[in-house]
Structure 1
């Protein structure tokens, strides 16, 4: 039978969403999670492939805004729910959806597309590069201590209910977004997604708990976590699982980390999806007993190359001609002259000789400053055509803070 790729009709939402669930193994989501997705997913940004009356492939994008080096918060399409039923794989359906999706994103004027990948090997061929990594750790809090910087003891910590403190926490989060590249400015409804706490997600642990950090009555940080305990021969042994932690300065951050280390009846602190330069690594007495590890997090694609490179600033002056390969979005292919510094940038078509050669995938990986062009060159993925061009561009694309995606989508 022939298949049809089309924009989602809201009346077909249940069948469309069922296809995504089936493509990801058929494990149903919690009812409250499904209802929130129903509110957040935008029908005219969603695509489905139909084989007769059956939806066999699906995807969507969210209208996000993401922080970039320099502090600007720019429009980006948040790609989500990419799935093809096992019965319809290897027929070109995924490629067709990604082709249509990127065309639609371009028409909307969004110069970036971002996603988190359940299978990272898939998206490089569509021009996505790994732009951020995530740090995880499992800390032995019985043997690792936190060394506090000056001012940490002046921070007041107060236990609070998640829902009652949500608005204040969201106000603080919004203030922090421009500080670090890769953070999402939360659109309406996303506060509920970050605080959603279905029983199925607790892994036998407690409901989500929240501690607020205040200074002179002002909220300056918060942490959300859950606790799980087991009763063994040596008594109660528990673990703290950190969901999120935000702080305005080092003293607040350290006070919150010490609180998490010192929760009674626990000896393990489980941390995931933190920035790779998270300061806790420099507060602990023994980093080896934290068992840090990394994995890919945000994948990023430049949809409109010129506009994307002009949207951010650069850590050092740069003037370089890029020879860009982009077979999937050919309007990006060719030579571009990038001129920029800490105040701004221009990126225009050029007939001058190329000085660096790379694909749009490498630009996506380096765009937020989390991956250097020099490291990509070491893997043979960037070629220097003018001596000195690589060092100049690699330094310019850097970021003072490592980029970080605080939550998935």
Structure 2
């Protein structure tokens, strides 16, 4: 067994990229073989310096990737983020500090670049809190019992003069990016989608050899404006008495208006033979159940944390967002990694906010990971105080924090990365 000190953590070269991909597939239990098609498709993403590997001799035994991202703050401002992905450690090399070495290196580089936050989607809950990440948004998935939902399958799906059409991947790549930009600027927690995302998710680039083309439904308003886009697939299942029991599984749905959202759900719930619809990942306070004539037809099948955030610059993070109330709060933010932290006075109102270092007495003390859970407005400081995860230095400070930081709608990240 190699000693941890003998394992070299370093940026991956282009020549080492196939070995890094093999380790990635091994770590995610996908099998160690990398096809030429997958290598060709993924190689276009390779960015020197942003891919890290741990090498035991010539063999890569741990992987790590980061890339530039924008995450939407409360109020719509795009915030510079260091998106962390492709994190694996091969089973033979666990518990040797390899993730810590890679994460420490990457976050230091992100801080040096001037990124405000780092983000990730956590496969396991217990790993990332020790690096200062906290769950900042959540997801919910519903399963709709179509016969019970109450939509009129014979009636129009659009009540506002709009229409729903099926389109192909070529059309999606033309209309999708502009719609997504409108939606993500209005959705705290949403992230930008690169051109590669659209290529990969419409089949122009094939990373997954098992990828199949979904149905794409687009909603256009009466004036022709694209207001919604849905991707879904349908299985082929029939009962013993030749009754259709098909399930439509939604891969993605973005909409800029509730009317478009309702029309797309009406569309997928009105398809002949479809008796069940799986919503895919949605915001925890999504309108979906209430868009159905019978909301009880939608039952929650998944509810979990989703986007995790690590704040790298407290001042810029708190200034970047808007606030629904007016008030002042002195925060003592601790950061064991020393990347940020200190004592800050947050002065917020509906007109804007300032966040500056101060020597005034702290009113609320919390770790940088807990601040991350509050940043997008999804968590309650009062709840965290009850759990002992934040400490009130002044009675009522948690209530003030909630009045300032919590939002009327919950944040949501529609994408995996």
Q: Flag whether TM exceeds 0.5 (same fold).
A: yes
Does structure 2 conserve the Cα–Cα contact (< 8 Å) formed by 1:139 and 1:289? yes
Does structure 1 conserve the Cα–Cα contact (< 8 Å) formed by 2:22 and 2:34? no
Alpha-carbon deviation of 1:90?
Answer: 0.9
The answer to whether structure 1 residue 15 and structure 2 residue 19 are counterparts is: yes
Call closer, same or farther: CA 1:405–1:85 in 2, change over 3 Å: same
Q: Which residue of 2 aligns with 1:209?
A: 215
Query: Stretches of 4+ moved more than 4 A in 1?
Result: 28-34, 146-151, 196-199
Q: Which residue of 1 aligns with 2:84?
A: 79
Q: Which residue of 1 aligns with 2:299?
A: 291
Summarize the alignment of residues 338-377 of structure 1 with structure 2, pairs less than 5 Å apart. Answer: 338-377=346-385
Call closer, same or farther: CA 1:173–1:267 in 2, change over 3 Å: same
Distance 1:143 1:175 in 2: 33
Moved more, 382-391 or 174-183: 382-391
**In the alignment, which of 26, 33, 36 is matched to residue 30 of structure 2?**
26
Does structure 2 conserve the Cα–Cα contact (< 8 Å) formed by 1:20 and 1:81? yes
Distance 1:35 1:131 in 2: 34
Q: Which residue of 2 aligns with 1:3?
A: 7
Call closer, same or farther: CA 1:35–1:365 in 2, change over 3 Å: farther
Does structure 2 conserve the Cα–Cα contact (< 8 Å) formed by 1:3 and 1:52? yes
SS in 2 for 1:101: helix
Call closer, same or farther: CA 1:15–1:151 in 2, change over 3 Å: closer
The answer to whether structure 1 residue 167 and structure 2 residue 171 are counterparts is: no
Q: Which digits, 9 at most, give the CA deviation of each residue in 1:217-262, with x for residues without a partner?
A: 2212121111111132132321100011122212111111100111
Distance 1:5 1:145 in 2: 57
Call closer, same or farther: CA 1:161–1:32 in 2, change over 3 Å: farther
Alpha-carbon deviation of 1:265?
Answer: 0.6
Q: Which digits, 9 at most, give the CA deviation of each residue in 1:92-128, with x for residues without a partner?
A: 1111111111101111110100000111110111111
The answer to whether structure 1 residue 138 and structure 2 residue 148 are counterparts is: no
Distance 1:15 1:158 in 2: 44
Distance 1:52 1:79 in 2: 25
Q: Which residue of 2 aligns with 1:228?
A: 235
SS in 2 for 1:217: coil
Alpha-carbon deviation of 1:201?
Answer: 4.7
Does structure 1 conserve the Cα–Cα contact (< 8 Å) formed by 2:157 and 2:266? no
TM-score (norm 2): 0.91
The answer to whether structure 1 residue 308 and structure 2 residue 317 are counterparts is: yes
Alpha-carbon deviation of 1:263?
Answer: 0.8
Distance 1:37 1:383 in 2: 46
Q: Which digits, 9 at most, give the CA deviation of each residue in 1:4-23, with x for residues without a partner?
A: 11111111111112111111
Q: Which residue of 2 aligns with 1:337?
A: 345
SS in 1 for 2:290: helix
Does structure 2 conserve the Cα–Cα contact (< 8 Å) formed by 1:314 and 1:397? yes
Does structure 2 conserve the Cα–Cα contact (< 8 Å) formed by 1:133 and 1:297? yes
TM-score (norm 1): 0.93
Does structure 1 conserve the Cα–Cα contact (< 8 Å) formed by 2:312 and 2:339? no
Q: Which digits, 9 at most, give the CA deviation of each residue in 1:33-90, with x for residues without a partner?
A: 5544322242211111111111111101110011100110111011001111111111
- Unpaired runs of 5+ residues, structure 2, are none
Distance 2:350 2:200 in 1: 35
Distance 1:149 1:354 in 2: 58
SS in 1 for 2:249: strand
Alpha-carbon deviation of 1:400?
Answer: 3.2
The answer to whether structure 1 residue 397 and structure 2 residue 405 are counterparts is: yes
Distance 2:162 2:129 in 1: 45
Distance 1:284 1:133 in 2: 22
What is the aligned length?
Answer: 404
What is the aligned-residue RMSD (CA, Å)? Answer: 2.2
SS in 2 for 1:291: strand
Q: Which residue of 2 aligns with 1:125?
A: 130
The answer to whether structure 1 residue 200 and structure 2 residue 204 are counterparts is: no
Does structure 2 conserve the Cα–Cα contact (< 8 Å) formed by 1:41 and 1:60? no
Alpha-carbon deviation of 1:333?
Answer: 3.1
